Amino acid sequence: MFKISHKIILETMVVFILIIISITSFYATFLPDTKFLFFEETYLELLALTETGGNGKLNLLTYPLGLYFICIFTCVQYLRSRNILYINFLILIWSAVLLARIISIILRGGIVFDIYFLVGIFPEFIIAPFFFFLRNKVFKT
């Protein structure tokens, strides 16, 4: 029988996140007003970032891009070195995203179950625990 190791699953997940975050970063930076991948909406419409004047739109693009670039850098560094430090950092950063998402759901009074929930919000709830589980399996901490 074919057995896939936890290390292969971990590395595959890191590569997958690296690809998705890189594509999202490209769209956010260079094509924010074009259709986003297979969605009917643009990157800005999908994230419900509407022009309200001032610097709001600029700020709402800057902070997600900061998170995306940190994640890209960390994934690349892990793939180069296979150092657990980078997996620990991914767990930390995605745990912070999860906590921020939970706080925003509580403060905003809930979420809407739409396509963005399935591809944007739901993964935030599983990435950190999945990395934590795989890290413990691979590195036997």
User: Could you give the number of structural domains in the chain?
Assistant: 1
Long-range contacts formed by 99-102: CB under 8 A, 24+ apart: 101/125
- Whether 1 is covered by a domain: the verdict is no
pLDDT bucket at 35, cuts 50 / 70 / 90 = confident
Question: Which residue range forms the structural domain that includes residue 13?
Answer: 6-139
Residue 35 pairs in a beta bridge with 42
More confident residue, 60 or 32: 32
Tokens of 110: 């809930």
Q: What is the pLDDT of residues 67-117, one digit of tens each?
A: 889 999 999 999 999 999 999 999 999 999 999 889 888 887 778 887 778
- Whether 87 is covered by a domain: the verdict is yes
Ranges 6-15, 29-38, 105-114, 118-127, most confident: 6-15
